[in-house]
Amino acid sequence: MGYSQRFDGRKFDEIRPIEAKAGVIKNADGSAFFRIGKTTAYAAVYGPRDLYPKFMQDPSKGILRCNYSMMPFSGQGDRVRPGQNRRAREISMVTEKALLPVVDLVDFPNAVVDVFIELPQTDAGSRCAGICAASIALADAGIPMRDLVAAVSVGKVHDKVLVDLDYNEEAYEDGPVADVPIAIIPSTEEISLLQMDGEISKEELLEAIALGKKVINQIIEVQRKALKDKYIVKD
């Protein structure tokens, strides 16, 4: 039988509707909202600012510190206990690593750039949505960057390689599922986030990543537009 028709009717290489806005949190130095389907993410950037405790400071450059957090009512099922659980801590770390290659903090020794990511509602792909929002927020904060970073999940459901799995697809039970969140630096096409869980062959994995590279441009365009829209002078 196989997975012939996606649950929500999308094509296999089609991402869910996306939306982005820069400058949504007034107190932050930079901020953004990013939505893909029913997954929504806010990111706020504070800094560069002094880093305490002092022993964490790096005199050669500033450090990037990301904090990913799901709001307690943002899960598909029960209430999520607030605070940092193991999952959130790991995602915070890989988010940092996904963004670090484009962020240049040599001019800010001993400082920290804090990125806070909050998700009010999720339908899979939340770490990718968080990275997309964070990337816009860092640019909005005026942090020196070589490029933006865009992220999307790719993978496999049953016999089909596809992009942007939603929750129903992640929970598919009639065949193997692979979820592969990736982040891409568009100017170099390098990959700064790669995780995967499930079951997939090497050929299918490479095919899935290639598919991700194809659709990532649509995301980058929306991110760039969000930044431009904030600074356009309206008469």
Partner 1 sequence: MHDLKQHLIKSFHANVRADGRKLDEFRKIEFELDISKTAEGSARVKIGDTEVLAGVKMLVSTPFPDTPEDGAIMINAEFLPMASAEFESGPPGIEAIELARVVDRGLRESKAIDVKKLCIKKGEKCWAVSVDIMTMNDDGNLLDAAALATILAVKNTRFPTYDGNEVNYKQLTDDRLQIEKIPVMVTVSKIGDYLFVDPVVEEEQNIDARLTVTLTDDGSICALQKGGDMPLTLDEIGKMIDLAEQKAAELRKLID
Residues 55-84 close enough to bind partner 1 by CB under 8 A: 67, 69, 71-79, 82-84
Q: How far is the CB of 124 from partner 1 (least distance, A)?
A: 12
Tell me whether residue 114 or residue 204 sits nearer to partner 1 (CB atom): 114
> For the CA atoms of the chain, what is the radius of gyration?
18
Angle, alpha carbons 102-104-108 (nearest 5°): 155
Instruction: Identify which range of 6-14, 120-128, 199-207, 217-225 contacts partner 1 by CB under 8 A.
Output: 120-128
What residues pair up with 179 in beta bridges, in sequence order?
Answer: 155, 197
Q: Under the criterion CB under 8 A, does residue 172 sit at the interface with partner 1?
A: no
Tell me, by CB under 8 A, how many residues bind partner 1: 32
CA distances from 134 to 84, 232, 234 (A): 18, 21, 26
Binding mask 26-45 for partner 1 (x = CB under 8 A): xxx--x------x-x-x-x-
Q: 10 Å Cβ neighbour count for 121?
A: 16
Phi, psi of 233 (to 5 degrees): -85, 120
**Helix or strand (DSSP H, E) at 44:** strand 39-50
Residues 13, 162 contacting (CB under 8 angstroms): yes
| 57, 110, 121, 195: residue in contact with partner 1 (rule CB under 8 A) | 121
First to last CA, the chain: 57
Q: How far is the CB of 26 from partner 1 (least distance, A)?
A: 5
| 16, 66, 116, 162: residue in contact with partner 1 (rule CB under 8 A) | 116
Residue with tokens 């065949």: 175
Q: Under the criterion CB under 8 A, does residue 120 sit at the interface with partner 1?
A: yes
Q: Footprint of partner 1 on this chain (CB under 8 A)?
A: 25-28, 31, 38, 40, 42, 44, 46, 49, 67, 69, 71-79, 82-84, 114, 116, 118, 120-123
